[in-house]
A and B are shown apart, each in its own frame.
Chain A
Amino acid sequence: MILRNFAVRHGRRAFATQYRNTFLRSLSIETETLLHETEAIAQSIENTTKETHSIEASINQLSIAERFVPPSDAGEEDHEVAANHNLLRTIRKRTHKLGSVPTPEYEPSELIHNPPRPKDITLELLMASQSHMGHSTSVWNPMNQRYIYGIRQGIHIISLEVTAAHLRRAAKVVEGVAYHGGLILFVGTRKGQSACVVKAAKLARGCHLFERWKPGTITNGNEILRKCAIRAVDRLDRDVDGFDEKIQNWTALKPDLVVVLNPLENYLLLHECGLNNIPTIGVIDTNADPTWVTYPIPANDDSLRCVQVIAGVLGRAAEAGQEKRLAAAAKGIVTWEPPKGLGLPVTEEDKVKAEKRRVAAAQREKEAAIEKDKQIKINAARRELYNR
């Protein structure tokens, strides 16, 4: 039992990458030969799975396999565990109000596993996260003059109110895009930003990137993203069958909104987004260029704490947008439109009908050919008659 599950899982993972036809077409080699190759690959996959099935059948017949008991949820009732837990609960209930109230301390991991929400944005939070600390006054970009509060100890101080206002605006944008079913990409390529980027993407049900952006991922997506899977989902985010062929021929997806936590290192990504009319949000420091992004958030991009706060807030905003979208979908309101050219799924009925139509067409052709033959013979006979 367990062996069979394992084999199928392994098999799927090892051989699941079916190259999409759009990638195949984009190559300059003849597509016919490649299609033959893919068919050959498909054949070899079938053979290997047959082999694994036969191997696992022989293993399952061994005596060891008989003694194996798989884990199950329905276990024996453990009264000791329940009793201990109840005791713990009563103790906690009696004692939780005793003792001193410790001052709220900064817990770094809190920003990752329980990030703040847009309503938690306060000037105190932003200051504690060092978002007001800009760069030295000699390396500033004068375009950012309107975001700067003043100079202190040789660095520019970014106005906390400006940061808060821009962050709230960006949060609204992210929530709206998520509500309308847009794909959001969170990017943070500096060291230490991976955790907050992944968490934000998870909350937003979007994509993340914490390593170097490959140039051409948007402009040459069919080549670079050829191994990435595409899913067709319904209004409640459940997978829909019947689009396999369409998905095979689909072009690589592009994000609908890109959030960049270090725009100074990701100019190419932002340039590609500009070329493809994709709106962007970026954390703009005093030495960064605010024209690179659609919605700048003037803040300190060198402080990991600040970046985690911003990523957390935007992730939470996206999460709220997704929840609203799914709540509306549960009531029957769909807030987005399916992409052009997707159409309806191909069901079993459709396949049967298509088969019938094909058979009928073949039959008709055959009959037409017989009729034609007959007519030729008749004409030949007539001609012979006239000639005599």
Chain B
Amino acid sequence: MRGLNLKPARVYQTVSLLLESGSITRAPSWYKTIGSIPPAEILTRTQPVQHRQTTRKSKTRKPSKLFLPQNIEYEEDILRREFYRDHPWELARPRIVLEDDGKDGQRCDWSKLEQPGRQLSGESVVQRQLWLMNVAGMSNSQAYDIARKEFYAVRHEEEVERRVAKEEATWVGAYFGKGALEIGMEVEDKSYEDWRAWATTEVEAIQRRKDAAYTGFGTAHEDDALVDLDAEEDPEAVETEPVKTAVP
């Protein structure tokens, strides 16, 4: 598969040559259509869509960077970064990114925070903030404060609803299983216990190896030297005393 194979792109030209030379007498049924609709240009590089200002000194004007696609940036990106830096746990909430017909964004009216048919998330805060800045003419921090306070109010409402729903359910006889945090704690505890058991055996093994390194004289544990479980035996040890060894 070395090199370029342009046979698919040159199907029409190939068949034209075959007809000319007389190798085939009848044109295939696709001949006229393909002839009237030439394939698109391929392999040539075009200047990519510019997403940022290029000055005289910018690296994009280097030949090696001239044809590279650029990063797409929006003004909301800064606002998003700020919001999620302040509220990292909002990133843990699952987001629905499915679009219905592609015009979902056009049906939003950001004079309110909550939109019908749209999930409330950090994105709503950012869009609301942008609306307040552009339409209501507020400053960045002013708009941010207003938008996020509206957001907190709605989230607080949701929390209260959840708590009250649980109370009502418990009142009429429902019982709940363990919550996510509880299960998480149990899993962590079990994980810790497993590690603890492993660590204990490891420590014992290390201790045994350390003690084995000092067999024979000069140690406080001469009895251990007698009951040496390691296979390697000193010939001197055999001569001095009968060593009781376990089966290796």
Contact = CB atoms under 8 A, between A and B. Distances in A.
A293 B12 CA distance: 13
Contact of B42 (A106, A150, A256, A296): A296
A169 B40 contact: yes
Given A159-B49, A176-B36, A278-B11, A145 B69 contact: yes
Contacts of A142: 45
Nearest to B71: A151
Contacts of A291: 4-6, 8-9, 42-43
A200 interface: no
Contacts of B43: 143, 290-291
A106 B72 contact: no
B25 interface: yes
A15 to B, nearest CB: 34
Contact of B102 (A122, A145, A157, A270): A122
Contact of A256 (B9, B29, B117): B29
Contacts of A124: 101-103
Contacts of B6: 291
A176 B32 CA distance: 8
A109 to B, nearest CB: 15
A83 to B, nearest CB: 39
A23 interface: no
A146 B49 CA distance: 10
A150 B48 contact: yes
Interface string B61-78: 000000111111000000
Interface residues on A, range: 35 or more
B7 A275 contact: yes
Nearest to B45: A145
Given A150-B51, A159-B49, A277-B15, A173 B5 contact: no
A106 B101 contact: yes
B8 A177 contact: no
A296 B9 CA distance: 10
B28 interface: yes
Given A176-B36, A291-B5, A294-B39, A150 B70 contact: yes
Give chain B's interface secondary structure class: loop
B100 A106 contact: yes
A384 interface: no
A340 B26 contact: yes
Interface in B1-43: 4-9, 11-12, 14-15, 18, 25-26, 28-30, 32-34, 36-37, 39-43
B48 A181 contact: no
Nearest to A124: B102
Contacts of B107: 103
Nearest to B28: A256
Contact of B99 (A106, A179, A274): A106
A152 interface: yes
A279 B68 CA distance: 31
Nearest to A184: B30
Interface in B67-110: 67-72, 98-103, 107
Contact of B37 (A125, A169, A270): A169
Given A143-B43, A157-B72, A173 B102 contact: no
A336 B7 CA distance: 25
A173 B37 CA distance: 7
Contacts of B117: 103
A182 interface: yes
B72 A277 contact: no
A49 to B, nearest CB: 39
Nearest to A284: B42
A125 B36 CA distance: 28
A257 interface: yes
Contacts of A152: 71-72
Contacts of B71: 150-152
A156 B43 CA distance: 17
Contacts of B44: 146
Contacts of B141: none
Contacts of B15: 277
B46 interface: yes
A139 to B, nearest CB: 14
Nearest to A125: B102
Interface in A128-173: 128, 137, 142-143, 145-146, 148-152, 156-157, 159, 165-166, 169, 172-173
Contacts of B45: 142, 145-146
B33 A173 contact: yes
A4 interface: no
8 contacts: A103-B117, A128-B99, A145-B45, A146-B41, A149-B69, A151-B71, A177-B29, A180-B32
Interface of A: 103-106, 122-128, 137, 142-143, 145-146, 148-152, 156-157, 159, 165-166, 169, 172-173, 176-177, 179-182, 256-257, 270, 273-275, 277-280, 290-296, 336-337, 340
Closest 3 CB pairs of A and B: A124-B102, A176-B33, A128-B102
Given A150-B49, A294-B34, 17 more contacts: A106-B98, A106-B99, A127-B102, A143-B42, A146-B44, A150-B69, A150-B72, A152-B71, A152-B72, A256-B28, A270-B8, A291-B4, A291-B8, A291-B43, A295-B39, A296-B40, A340-B26
